[in-house]
Structure 1
Amino acid sequence: MAGTRIVQQVLYLEVADRLRAMIQSRELKAGAWVDEAQLTRQLGVSRTPLREALKVLVAEGLLRLEPRRGCFVNELSARDLNDIFPLMAMLEGRCAYEAASKVTHEDLTRLEPLHEQLEHHARAGDIDQYYAVNAQIHEAIQELADNRWLSDMVESLRKVLSLSRHKSLAYPGRIRESCAEHMAIFAALKARDPDGAEALTRKHLMRQLDALRDLAAQDHQASDAALAAHSFLHHPGD
């Protein structure tokens, strides 16, 4: 019996991991209803581990449960982003501070090829590949900080921010700016400059928020223009 419970626990955690990946890849899109019957067939699991996994993602803020309607993929509002990013900037800034205080030559050697890949993808304008390497660098710096309490908080917010994924990188020029910011942070790590690494990391996170705000403003302007054009076509004499 004990062995059965462990297997079931591992299964629902594996399902939760798969669902997170589906949300991050936008296979499950923001705002979408979660079709439990389809997912059980797609993932080859029964309803029980799926529903346990859904509870985990609801607790993490990736899904929301609506009475009599089911689960939906969450969408981050402008207020959510304005609330979360300053916290993430503070926490990741502290990660960079502690990483710069503890980093070794061997650590820097391991980070070097990641930054070279980052520059390559930035020059190519490959947002998906850039995002993947960017995530590896953030996680590597968090690991170098070697503070499990800090890591727990960062991981919690990072899961929620995955709902906005790499939207900020779609803003014109942002991918090159982001790369330059990462190279500056890396230089601060090389210099064993905790204060500099922290300040640069905080700026890097807040520039992501600025880009998301600018994109939202562009979308709003485009929506207003489309509405005005539609109104003119249907009521040209008004």
Structure 2
Amino acid sequence: MNQIIDTRAEKARLRQPTRSEELQDDLKRLIVGGEMKPGDRLDETEIAKRFAVSRTPVREAIKGLVASGLVEVRGRQGTFVATLSIPMLIEMFDLMAALEGLCARLAARRATREEKDRMLGIQARLEHAFADNDPEAFYAINEEFHDLLYTAGHTHFLADQTVALRLRLSPYRRQVTFQPGKMRATLSEHKRIIEAIDAGDPDEAMSAASEHVRLLGDHLSDFIATIPPHLLG
């Protein structure tokens, strides 16, 4: 049975993506990267023209984005990049903190020496981006750190669910990263996570990672104040 499952997984990995799947990835990158913002309308004709495809793969790509939660259908108005209400945002950030904490806890138990060294390398690059005052580079490198944190936990379902939630929050997480003082704080918070993982301390790693993501007190009110009204549902 396991051999059958492995064979199917290998075939799925080797299969070439369809045009609609490629287009879905392209649109996802535009949303995550901030070029398409919450509340923006997805016009099938414009997308088809931009990517030189027919409207059929566009419709299929949009269906996939709706299923992921990045896009929402508003009746006859059309399809839009999803917006979130403030209560939903707070709830999702709380869940994100719990998931990240669990990933870090498992990483403290399971991370290899190579993975720990890669974390240190990413942290060094983050410090350079901070010194260069380059928030866009900092944001991209920060994504690498969190990807590695999920990988170092050596899970499957948990990592997939954490990535999926992070994608939904991506337009709003950029707002957090670009808050005054947040990049400096991120460096020290990452350092605490790395030290806990390197020491093999699951409880400290979980606490450090959860606190890194969770928005509380002044940080929460500052975050809400910086969100442009059009990004909220």
**TM-score bracket relative to the smaller structure:** 0.7 to 0.9
Cα shift at 1:195? 0.9
Stretch deviating more after TM superposition (68-77 or 207-216): 207-216
Identity across the alignment (%): 36
**Contact 1:76–1:163 at 8 Å: present in 2 too?**
no
Tell me the residue number matched to 1:173: 181
Alignment of 1:38-49 (within 5 A): 38-49=46-57
For the residues of structure 2 that align with 1:72 and 1:208, how far apart are their CA atoms? Answer: 30
Query: Aligned to 2:87, which of 76, 79, 83?
Result: 79
Q: Which of residues 11, 34, 37 in structure 2 aligns to 1:29? A: 37
| 2:149 is the alignment partner of 1:136 | no
Q: Does 1:205 align with 2:213?
A: yes
Kept in 2, the 8 Å contact 1:85–1:209? The answer is no
Q: For residue 47 of structure 1, report the CA deviation from its aligned partner.
A: 0.8
Question: Is the Cα contact below 8 Å between 2:129 and 2:138 reproduced in 1?
Answer: yes
Verify the 8 A CA contact 1:125 1:175 in the aligned structure 2: no
Pick one of 146, 153, 163 that aligns with 1:155. 163
Is 1:93 paired with 2:65? Answer: no
Letter of the 1:127 counterpart:
P
Equivalents in 2 of 1:96, 1:219: separation in Å?
28
Q: Distance in 2 between matches of 1:103 and 1:218?
A: 36
Superposition deviation, residue 45 in structure 1: 1.3
- What CA distance in whole angstroms lies between the structure 2 residues aligned with 1:62 and 1:218? 21
Contact 2:116–2:198 (CA under 8 A) maintained in structure 1: yes
Aligned to 2:213, the other structure's residue is in SS state helix
- Structure 1 unpaired stretches of 5+: 1-5, 221-238
SS in 2 for 1:125: coil
Give the letter aligned to residue 163 of structure 1.
P
Q: Judge which range, 108-117 or 90-99, deviates more.
A: 108-117
Structure 1 stretches of 4+ with a deviation exceeding 6 A read: none
Partner secondary structure for residue 132 of structure 1: helix
Summarize the Cα distance change of 1:163–1:170 in structure 2 as closer, same or farther, 3 Å threshold: closer
How far did residue 146 of structure 1 move?
A: 1.1
- Is residue 104 from structure 1 mapped to residue 90 from structure 2 by the alignment? no
The higher-RCO structure (CA 8 Å, 6+ apart) is: 2
SS in 1 for 2:18: helix
Q: 1:70 to 1:80 in 2, by over 3 A?
A: same
Find the residue that maps to 1:72 and give its secondary structure: strand
Contact in 1 for aligned 2:23/2:58 (Cα 8 Å): yes
Q: Report the RMSD for the aligned CA atoms in angstroms.
A: 2.0
Check the 8 A contact 2:69/2:168 in 1, yes or no: yes
Deviations 1:13-43, CA, capped at 9 Å, x for gaps: 1111100111122221221111211110111
Larger CA deviation: 135-144 vs 104-113: 104-113
Larger radius of gyration: 1
Name the count of aligned residue pairs.
Answer: 214
Residue 73 and residue 103 in structure 1: after superposition, are their counterparts in 2 closer, same or farther (change >3 A)?
same
Residue 63 (structure 1) aligned with residue 77 (structure 2): no
Is the Cα contact below 8 Å between 2:115 and 2:148 reproduced in 1? no
Counterpart of 1:117 in structure 2 is 125
> Which range moves more in the overlay, 198-207 or 101-110?
101-110
In 2 relative to 1, CA 136–196 (structure 1 residues): closer, same or farther, beyond 3 Å? same
Instruction: Report the Cα offset of residue 10 of structure 1.
Output: 1.9
